[in-house]
Amino acid sequence: MSLDEAEVRHVARLARLALPDEEIAALAPQLSAILAYAEQVREVAADEVEPTTHPLGLTDVLRADVRTPSTERDAILAGAPDPEEGRFAVPRIVDDETGGAS
Amino acid sequence: MSALVGATAVELAGRMARGETSAREVVDAHLDAIEAHDATLGAFLAVTGESARAHADDVDRRRRGGEALGPLAGVPLALKDVLTMRGAPTTCGSRMLEGWVPPYDSTVVERLRAADVVILGKTNMDEFAMGSSTENSAFHPTRNPWDLERVPGGSSGGSAAAVAAGLAPLAIGTDTGGSIRQPAAFCGIVGGKPTYGTVSRHGLVAFASSLDQAGPLAGTVEDTALLHAVIAGHDPRDSTSNPDDPADVVERLTDGVSGLTVGVVRELSGEGYEPGVAAAFAGALERLERLGARIEEVSLPHAPYGLPAYYLVAPSEASSNLARFDGVRYGLRVDAPTAEEMNAATRAAGFGPEVRRRIMIGTHALSSGYYDAYYLQASRVRTLIARDFAAAFERIDVLVSPTAPTVAFPLGDKASDPLAMYLNDVATVPASLAGVPALSVPAGLAEPVGGGDPLPVGLQLMAALGRDDLAYRVAWAFEQDLAFDRHPRGARAMAVGS
Amino acid sequence: MNPLPEGWELVVGLEVHVELSTASKMWCGCSTEFGGEPNTNVCPVCTGQPGALPVANARAVHDAILLGLALDGTIAPRCRFHRKNYFYPDLAKNYQISQYDVPLVSDGHLDVELEVDGRREVRRVGIERLHMEEDTGKSVHLGATGRLHGADRSLIDYNRSGVPLLEIVSRPDVRDPETAQAYLRELQGIVRSLEVSDARMEEGSIRCDANVSVRRHGEPLGTRCEIKNLNSVRSLGRAIRAEAERQVALIEAGGEVVMETRHWDEEAGVTRTLRRKETVTDYRYFPDPDLVELVTTPERIAEVRAELPELPSATRARLVAAGAAPDQANALVTGGLVEVLDAAVADGAPTASAVNWLVGDVTGRLSALGLEIGASGLTGAHLAALIGLVEAGTLSTAMARQVLDVLLEERGTRGPSDIARERGLEQVSDAGALEGVVAAVVADDPASVAAVRAGNERAIGALMGKVMRETGGRADPRVVNELLRAAIAATEDDA
């Protein structure tokens, strides 16, 4: 499988990376080569093989519903690029795509 | 008094316990060595001298007060800069996090402190642990103490180089696909990736959550095992932490290999492995046999699919784990008129080329229409590899292979060819995908392809899930017999201490 | 009920989000308390700090199973959490931990009761799935409008980030706005009876989106639009109606409905395009590697099932059987008054009067005061005592209402007897205490006495009025009536 520049651009948009045209152009053959190599995984493992997403297969790791102290607001905001009124400021949000849980 | 710098952790601990030196003297000696040599080596990103000295003084005070201290109390350590520590910046080798001081301690740091291991500073690494040479650090490369024109391996290259050069007797690295073992091999030291779930990931900035494990690096197997014992253990703050007691890697460390079966993984040698590496590996097998181990050839038929699977699973997880770096809550922000443009500009500027590349691969591998063929299929391959290991460990105690197909390569050698760089992980990723424990221990020196002074070769030892102790036991017996001189030497080496 | 012109059918599916009222968040120990100062209930986990890891809240999982069982759903023996990847500033990790291919609960249903043409009718709405996820932070948009559009910048508060959410997705079984409203109300009632959420729409602890489409009878499903910003049960009904009418008008004019998300404008009473869905967002779901599988055994299910309280439908049936009218039963359940009713009855109040008081006077006063029953201080014991005082003749109904006013004003800090006594509201029924007044009134108004004696029954009213004036209205009319007649009869005897 190879990726053309339009596909690379689409992926960069999904990954929210503002990549210049030269990098898009350079990435297309690089990603294609890596994916071509990675595609070997299709040579084995039939559909009935259960996927492994966790090496130990632990289940039901839960915590009791108990409150623990929150972090000082100042400590959380200390690393913020633009704190304002105890909150994290961002420039105008254009994409109202997915505000709020959906 | 013999030199403090270059001594093992056990030697230093013994001298401190006997009152021949103090933690403060030991820490000062190492801070001085860092001051003198790290400008050349580039192993550290930050040195936390003040807190290290304060901690050392506290250890000395408590020792004088008759308090019973742990076996590594007062011993200095270099911490990979991917683990959070309150009061010191954590950069992950990235511009993205420049200036971020984590508001909390990682569990690894908590456990080190509780054992009175003194943290000297944060070590250099490939950005977000993505790389095999430490050249992907956004700040500077780290040099291999055996040959300053060569890489120390990666991504825990700063930690491995610091130990090899004697700037710290102990170090913590993290291993996702070989990032502890391969630099340990390249730098002629010991490094271990514990069984997945043994060391808490709380405070370990994630690269690939289902693979990441922090682990120890040190000059000897015993030091490595002692450090492993300090950081291993269940942590309720990490859902993937193993609730069972970890294997005791110290208790039977010196029991020897007699009666154990060592399996040679057929698929992890031969083509693609440098002749010098192959020769050192063959010598290692002879040695193990002579020491009383039964040697058998074993096939892990799906091991060759490990690397392709790894380069789908790890970037997929990374693409999601690294989404949080967006210029909103911490770290770098590149201003732009809208939030979306600010995110995209920040991420393009803050991540280096290799991180961007892996985010792109992972995003594509998870995207609609490709998920089944890439991520899901790779996860199935993971099952096959885990089954291969499980089958082998039914009759084999420890599996062995070279740690890496090459010795340390020259700086810049593979920088332009990502796939060539990835191939250096070919022997280490199968154990990562299966979650099994794996160590790298020096197996001697080999002349690099193209000539030059001999460089270290690593022997990889892998054991069944939860049997880290077996890998350590074989490694210790092997190390004792080989009597490898771990101090870098050669025309382009940087030797500190001894 | 079908609001559409002849030949058209409305098809609605509902997506409801319920914020669980656990003490701590879904993945960390931060408080879920509503209304704190911005970014005070936060920690490395819920602000997505590097290296922070989630650990699932056992109570939230329990509550999800409980609600799943209340909805008669199938609990997945094994399921996982997935990451839903999208970038948004209020989403701290830029992915939401949710569930994907295998939700915790599937294939449930909810029966709702509606009044159709004067008859009560039960409608079943299928529930496709119920899954667990986490809430996002909140953005305040700065700029002229205070809304997203036209804002210069936004400020993010992560206090709500990571609060456990259940998403309940119905099948497209709803055919009219009233059923949609009844479904939401019923779900609200169930969630409250299980005590898993306070389900307040105004605080956003229950939220509802509606997928609306129309079709001509017999035709396949039409293109649907998702309606957001439904802030009350009322707006849900209005929005569905308005959207359905818009779609029918569009199609009848030869247009085509476009798959999109639309925003309900409460003031204008119309829906407006929020975003087009022609490119489906690629969320790149994959199993969250920071979390492990959830296994729910049949034993565990049985354990949780045993905790199920009486559900609203069963409560309504029980109340009707006890003599309440169906709409009274409904009002008691939706008003959350059943607990007080049961307690009052247990304390000796007759069911009928307790029901009447609660549905009538209590409900009216609570709504005037903007109070929930739980915050009002009124207990079953209070209500039983109040009814007892009326029945004993100690209070007239009018006085009892005054006592109730005071009781609610004081949020139940004192009981009805204390209030009545302190305010001097107790009815005087003691004949001995009233005889003197009655005798004086009779002696003072021979004309009325004569009129009564002459057979003019109405004249006794004047005498009654005088007695009441003299006693400040506290005299028991029944006793006064008897005393007056006796006194008048006595004057006759004298004559």
Give residue-wise pLDDT tens across range B29-45: 999 999 999 999 999 99
* Residues C434/C446, Cβ–Cβ less than 8 Å: no
Catalytic residue among B80, B122, B193, B414: B80
Look up B80 and say whether it is catalytic. yes
* Residues A5/A19, Cβ–Cβ less than 8 Å: no
Which whole-number Å values give the CA distances from B98 to A86, B90, B101, B127, B345, in the listed order? 22, 8, 9, 12, 16
Residue of B nearest to A87 (CA): B329
- Going by pLDDT thresholds of 50, 70 and 90, the confidence category of residue B498 is very low
Q: In this structure, what DSSP letter does residue A70 have?
A: P
Number of A–B residue contacts, CB under 8 Å:
188
pLDDT at residue B401 in the model: 98
pLDDT tens, position by position, C457-490: 888 888 888 888 888 777 888 888 888 888 888 8
What does the alpha-carbon distance between residue C262 and residue C275 come to, in Å, rounded to a whole number? 7
* Residues C162/C25, Cβ–Cβ less than 8 Å: yes
Tell me which residue of B392, B386, B360 sits closest to B374, measured CA to CA: B360
Asked if the model's pLDDT at residue A102 lies above 50, the reply is no
Residue of A nearest to B379 (CA): A51
Q: Check CB contact under 8 Å for B210 and C289.
A: yes
What does the alpha-carbon distance between residue B56 and residue B10 come to, in Å, rounded to a whole number? 17
pLDDT at residue A100 in the model: 42
Say whether B242 sits in a helix, a strand or coil. Answer: coil
Give start and end residues of each alpha helix (H) in B82-156.
Answer: 107-114
The predicted model gives C124-142 an average pLDDT of 95
- Going by pLDDT thresholds of 50, 70 and 90, the confidence category of residue C422 is confident
- Tell whether the torsion through CA atoms of C206, C129, C88 and B97 is positive or negative: positive
CA distance C104 to chain A (A): 13
pLDDT at residue C145 in the model: 64
The predicted model gives A65-85 an average pLDDT of 95
Q: How far apart are the first and last CA of chain C?
A: 73
Residue of A nearest to C168 (CA): A102
Structure tokens at B77: 């350590």
Cα C415 off chain centre by: 26
Of A50-54, C41-45, C301-305, the one with minimum mean pLDDT is: A50-54
| Residue B272 sits at the chain A interface (C-beta within 8 Å) | no
CA distance C292 to chain B (A): 7
Total residue length of chain A: 102
Q: Check CB contact under 8 Å for A52 and B383.
A: yes
- Tell whether the torsion through CA atoms of C222, C224, C230 and C232 is positive or negative: positive
CA dihedral of B381, B384, B389, B390, whole degrees rounded to 10: 140
Asked if the model's pLDDT at residue A98 lies above 50, the reply is no
pLDDT at residue B84 in the model: 98
pLDDT tens, position by position, C255-272: 999 999 999 999 999 999
Please, is B436 exposed, middle or buried when counting C-beta atoms within 10 Å of its C-beta (0-12, 13-18, 19+)? buried
CA distance A9 to chain B (A): 10
What does the alpha-carbon distance between residue B181 and residue B200 come to, in Å, rounded to a whole number? 19
B 339-368 residues with CB < 8 A to A = 339-345, 347-348, 351, 353, 356-357, 359-361, 363-365, 367
Compute the 3-state secondary structure of chain C and give helix, strand, coil in percent, each to the nearest 5: 40, 25, 40
| Residue C48 sits at the chain B interface (C-beta within 8 Å) | yes
pLDDT at residue B348 in the model: 98
Facing residue for A94 by CB, picked from B338, B359, B364: B338
Strand partners, B363: none
The predicted model gives A61-77 an average pLDDT of 96
The predicted model gives C390-412 an average pLDDT of 87
- Going by pLDDT thresholds of 50, 70 and 90, the confidence category of residue C279 is low
Facing residue for C286 by CB, picked from B205, B316, B343: B316
Q: Check CB contact under 8 Å for C55 and A101.
A: no
Structure tokens at B389: 């290991």
Q: How many CB atoms lie within 10 A of CB C21?
A: 20
pLDDT tens, position by position, B59-89: 999 999 999 999 999 999 999 999 999 999 9
| Residue B327 sits at the chain A interface (C-beta within 8 Å) | yes
Look up B94 and say whether it is catalytic. no
Facing residue for B84 by CB, picked from C51, C284, C285: C51
Q: Check CB contact under 8 Å for C54 and B239.
A: yes
| Residue C281 sits at the chain B interface (C-beta within 8 Å) | no
| Residue A62 sits at the chain C interface (C-beta within 8 Å) | yes
Q: Check CB contact under 8 Å for B351 and A18.
A: no
Say whether C36 sits in a helix, a strand or coil. Answer: coil
What does the alpha-carbon distance between residue C474 and residue C162 come to, in Å, rounded to a whole number? 59
What does the alpha-carbon distance between residue B36 and residue B26 come to, in Å, rounded to a whole number? 15
- Going by pLDDT thresholds of 50, 70 and 90, the confidence category of residue C120 is confident
Phi, psi (degrees; rounded to nearest 5) at B320: -85, -45
Q: How far apart are the first and last CA of chain A?
A: 34
Mean pLDDT of chain C: 91
Catalytic residue among B94, B106, B133, B155: B155
CA atoms within 13 A on the CB side of B492: 13
pLDDT at residue A101 in the model: 41
Q: pTM for the whole thing? A: 0.90
Q: Check CB contact under 8 Å for B239 and C55.
A: yes
What does the alpha-carbon distance between residue B494 and residue B148 come to, in Å, rounded to a whole number? 7
What is the amino acid identity at position B477? Answer: A
Compute the 3-state secondary structure of chain B and give helix, strand, coil in percent, each to the nearest 5: 40, 15, 45
Interacting residues of C114 by C-beta distance below 8 A, sequence separation 6+: C1, C120, C121, C122, C123, C178, C179, C182
Facing residue for B202 by CB, picked from C53, C87, C284: C53
Asked if the model's pLDDT at residue C6 lies above 60, the reply is yes
Q: Check CB contact under 8 Å for A53 and B379.
A: yes
Asked if the model's pLDDT at residue C113 lies above 90, the reply is no
Look up B193 and say whether it is catalytic. no
The predicted model gives C57-66 an average pLDDT of 98
Residues of B in contact with A58 (CB under 8 A): 197, 239-240, 242-243
What does the alpha-carbon distance between residue B36 and residue B58 come to, in Å, rounded to a whole number? 25
Find tokens 């990835």 and name the residue.
B422
* Residues B455/B446, Cβ–Cβ less than 8 Å: yes
* Residues B76/B26, Cβ–Cβ less than 8 Å: yes
Residues of B in contact with C286 (CB under 8 A): 316-317, 320, 366, 371, 375
Packing angle of the helix pair B9-17, B221-231 (nearest 10 deg):
80
Cα B27 off chain centre by: 22
* Residues C190/C226, Cβ–Cβ less than 8 Å: no
Q: Which residue has the higher pLDDT, A65 or C122?
A: A65
* Residues C128/C170, Cβ–Cβ less than 8 Å: yes
- Going by pLDDT thresholds of 50, 70 and 90, the confidence category of residue C278 is low
Find tokens 């936004």 and name the residue.
C154
Asked if the model's pLDDT at residue A99 lies above 60, the reply is no
Of A86-90, B118-122, C403-407, the one with minimum mean pLDDT is: C403-407
- Going by pLDDT thresholds of 50, 70 and 90, the confidence category of residue C148 is low
pLDDT at residue B497 in the model: 57
Query: What is the ipTM for the molecules in this complex?
Result: 0.96
B 301-330 residues with CB < 8 A to C = 316-317, 319-320, 323-326, 328-330
Q: How many CB atoms lie within 10 A of CB C106?
A: 18
Q: Is C7 left (phi over 0), alpha (psi -120 to 50) or beta?
A: left
* Residues B462/B438, Cβ–Cβ less than 8 Å: yes
Q: Which residue has the higher pLDDT, B491 or B279?
A: B279
Residue of B nearest to C279 (CA): B368
Catalytic residue among B132, B133, B137, B179: B179
Which whole-number Å values give the CA distances from C214 to B123, B351, C210, C241, C443, in the listed order? 63, 48, 13, 11, 80
Residues of A in contact with C17 (CB under 8 A): 101
What does the alpha-carbon distance between residue B273 and residue A86 come to, in Å, rounded to a whole number? 57
Structure tokens at C126: 């299928």
Structure tokens at B296: 């058998």
Q: Is the peptide bond before B155 cis (omega within 30 degrees of 0)?
A: yes
